[in-house]
């Protein structure tokens, strides 16, 4: 297992649509090692999720884990591995909240996201999974699925007025 180097905004790998991983390749040592390394990397840098392009791999793979939810009755999210994920349905209603990204380090901005999503994907065992996610979990899934399509959260901001350095947010508040 290893902590991988995180790609940062400006690296073309973050702007490319990623390739699907064939079902039969999911249990290969190469993909299993990549998953383990991405989990290590996410935990090392205290991210709530990381997508493969963020470790310079242009494949449809993301990992999510939230041990300390950002409040407002949100639950912790156990480790979730999403391979070739698809959002099959989503809420009409959008909610705005703060997001950051390991590839856009030190910045936060308010991003509108749909409040719930239905997701289909393969898990790390190569099994087909379908589930419903709400609130912060739904937000993180949308953020990571965007990475797999070559998008970052800045692309989803209607304007950049809330874009802030973390330290300044702490000084001047979040609203």
In whole angstroms, the minimum distance from the beta carbon of 26 to Zn ion comes to 22
Beta carbon nearer to Zn ion, 126 or 162: 162
Task: Tell me, yes or no, if 144 is annotated catalytic.
Answer: yes
Name 73's Cβ contacts closer than 8 Å, sequence gap at least 6.
none
Output 101 or 111, the one with its CB closest to Zn ion: 101
Spell out the SS3 assignment of the chain. Answer: CCCCCCCCCCCHHHHCCCECCCHHHCCCHHHHHHHHHHHHHHHHCCCCEEEHHHHCCCECEEEEEECCCCCCCCCCEEEEEEEEEEEEEECCCEEEEEECCCCCCCEEEEEEEECEEEEEEECCCCCEEEEEEEHHHHHHHHHHHHHHCCCCHHHHCCCCCCCEEHHHHHHHCCC
Query: Which listed range, 33-41, 76-84, 94-102, 157-165, lies at the site for Zn ion (CB under 5 A)?
Result: 94-102
Write the CA distances from 139 to 37, 91, 169, integer angstroms: 23, 12, 20
Candidates 101, 121, 133, 138: give the one binding Zn ion (CB under 5 A): 101
Spatial contact of 9 and 105, defined as CB atoms under 8 Å apart: no
We find the least distance from the C-beta atom of residue 2 to Zn ion, in angstroms, to be: 20
How many of the chain's residues bind Zn ion (CB under 5 A)?
1
Q: Which residue is nearest to Zn ion (CB)?
A: 101
Stretch that binds Zn ion, among 10-18, 28-36, 58-66, 96-104 (CB under 5 A): 96-104
Residue span 110-149 as binding mask against Zn ion, x where in contact by CB under 5 A, dash where not: ----------------------------------------
Please report how close the Cβ of residue 127 comes to Zn ion at its closest, in angstroms.
Answer: 26
| Candidates 21-29, 38-46, 97-105, 120-128; binding stretch for Zn ion (CB under 5 A) | 97-105
User: Nearest approach, Cβ of 14 to Zn ion (angstroms)?
Assistant: 9
Residues binding Zn ion (CB under 5 A): 101
Q: Which residues are catalytic?
A: 144
């Amino acid at each position: 297992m290893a902590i991988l180097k995180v790609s940062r905004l400006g690296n073309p790998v973050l702007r490319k649509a990623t390739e699907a991983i064939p079902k039969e390749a999911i249990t290969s040592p190469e993909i299993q090692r990549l998953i383990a390394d991405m989990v290590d990397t996410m935990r090392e840098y205290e991210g709530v999720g990381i997508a493969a392009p963020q470790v310079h791999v242009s494949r449809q793979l993301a990992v999510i884990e939230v041990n300390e939810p950002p409040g407002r009755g949100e639950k912790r999210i156990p480790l979730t591995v999403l391979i070739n994920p698809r959002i099959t349905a989503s809420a009409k209603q959008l909610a705005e909240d703060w997001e950051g990204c390991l590839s856009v380090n030190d910045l936060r901005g308010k991003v509108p996201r749909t409040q719930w999503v239905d997701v289909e994907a393969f898990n790390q065992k190569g099994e087909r999974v379908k589930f419903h996610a709400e609130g912060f979990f739904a937000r993180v899934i949308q953020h990571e699925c965007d990475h797999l399509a070559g998008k970052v959260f800045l692309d989803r901001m209607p304007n950049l007025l809330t874009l802030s350095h973390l330290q300044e947010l702490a000084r001047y508040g979040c609203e």
